[in-house]
Copies of this chain bind each other. A is one copy, B any other.
Amino acid sequence: MRCDFAGQAVKLEVMGEFDLIETYFKRPARRATLGVGDDCALLPPSAGQQLAISCDMLVEGRHFLSTVNPRHLGHKALAVNLSDLAACGAEPKSFLLALALPHIEPEWLASFAQGLWALADQFQCDLVGGDTTRGPLNICITVMGEVPLEKALLRSAAKVGDDIYVSGSLGDARLALEVFRGRLQVTSAIFERARARMEQPSPRVALGLALRGLAHAAADISDGLLGDLQHILKASAVGARIEAHTVAATMSCAEGAGLRWPDQLALSLAGGDDYELVFTAAADQRAAVFAAAGKAQTPVTRIGRITSEPGLYLVDAQGLAMPNTYHSFDHFHAD
């Protein structure tokens, strides 16, 4: 715990904190020896398993719009963290929730908790502790999972000659954001689909588990494919050749959206907020990769190859080199 020193308001705050935990966030944990309410949560060890742990902080106006449905926000705050576990091939076990709230709105909290619990239940992931305080809206979740020793998918494990794959569809979340901003226009049906991808991403946990022992390197795609792939390339000291048109074709909300091709390329290559996985596997394991993806009920697309030459090179449908102006969002809409 830590003390809060806002003077006369503190009693309400302190009482509020405990009431808040009791009302919205206390449920029996499945596995933890001790759940919400002690100074620490105590988690029993699992033989032969490593603990995988990650935290992500979400700030209003920066990672979500202030108008977002709080149920969707509860979902997303946990989803982006589960996505990190997925990228390591770890199985979700438990999480901590730290929440700064500008004021206590019971309806908002109930809705936020509903979204959070629904996703936590889907992955049997227990809330085992956390912190609440008054302050500018900030959600910091720490998620814990387990992965057998030597089985974690690492950014540093890509090998020359590996195929590179992405899961699902890239660019849809960013399309929704650009519509919100008035920079792109699409039909309301396409907008709603893209918005669901932006606000309620599905962490690819099943795929991460299915790829244990099969994929070499993996990372989750949060800042855009090319940026996140660069982390793998840097950590593995390799390069990559990416078929840009194949990446753009994964975008599920593109059809009928009337997008210009340069926009579709930019959205899918560098849009961000996708929470898909990018991973590599040996070229002779293609059948096994597609079988694993089938088992995980998650589509995957082979988008390129790991090269010994450093750098990230884009090629078009004819195999010709393309200028890579998509490394960052800066170039989005700059054509």
Known contacts A39-B84, A85-B40, A87-B39; is-contact A7 B329 (Cβ 8 Å): yes
CB of A283 to closest CB in B, whole Å: 24
In contact, B223 and A3 (Cβ under 8 angstroms): yes
CB of A144 to closest CB in B, whole Å: 7
Known contacts A47-B45, A138-B135, A154-B38; is-contact A11 B220 (Cβ 8 Å): no
Please name all residues of chain B whose beta carbon is closer than 8 Å to the beta carbon of A3 when the two chains form the complex. Answer: 63, 80, 173, 222-224, 272-274
In contact, B136 and A34 (Cβ under 8 angstroms): no
Q: Does A266 interact with chain B (Cβ within 8 Å)?
A: no
In contact, A131 and B50 (Cβ under 8 angstroms): no
Cross-chain contact of A129 among B42, B45, B55, B63 (Cβ < 8 A): B55
Cross-chain contact of A45 among B39, B49, B63, B145 (Cβ < 8 A): B49
Chain A contact patch, size range:
35 or more
Q: Does A235 interact with chain B (Cβ within 8 Å)?
A: yes
In contact, B273 and A53 (Cβ under 8 angstroms): no
CB of A311 to closest CB in B, whole Å: 18
Please name all residues of chain B whose beta carbon is closer than 8 Å to the beta carbon of A80 when the two chains form the complex. Answer: 1-3
Q: How far does the alpha carbon of A222 sit from the alpha carbon of B85 in the complex, in Å?
A: 32
Q: How far does the alpha carbon of A177 sit from the alpha carbon of B10 in the complex, in Å?
A: 13
Q: Does A74 interact with chain B (Cβ within 8 Å)?
A: no
Q: Does A54 interact with chain B (Cβ within 8 Å)?
A: yes
Please name all residues of chain B whose beta carbon is closer than 8 Å to the beta carbon of A149 when the two chains form the complex. Answer: 44
Q: How far does the alpha carbon of A142 sit from the alpha carbon of B94 in the complex, in Å?
A: 13
Nearest 7 interchain pairs by C-beta: A59-B135, A3-B273, A1-B222, A2-B80, A136-B136, A39-B87, A11-B328
Residues of chain A at the chain B interface (Cβ within 8 Å): 1-8, 10-11, 14-15, 33-34, 37-63, 80-81, 83-85, 87-88, 90, 96, 98-100, 128-131, 133-136, 138, 140, 142, 144-145, 147, 149, 152, 154-156, 173-174, 177, 181, 218-220, 222-224, 227-228, 231, 235, 272-274, 328-330
A-B contact pairs, 23 of them (CB 8 A): A2-B63, A2-B222, A3-B272, A3-B274, A4-B223, A6-B62, A7-B181, A10-B328, A11-B330, A37-B235, A39-B83, A39-B219, A45-B51, A55-B130, A57-B100, A57-B133, A57-B138, A59-B134, A62-B134, A62-B135, A98-B140, A135-B138, A142-B142
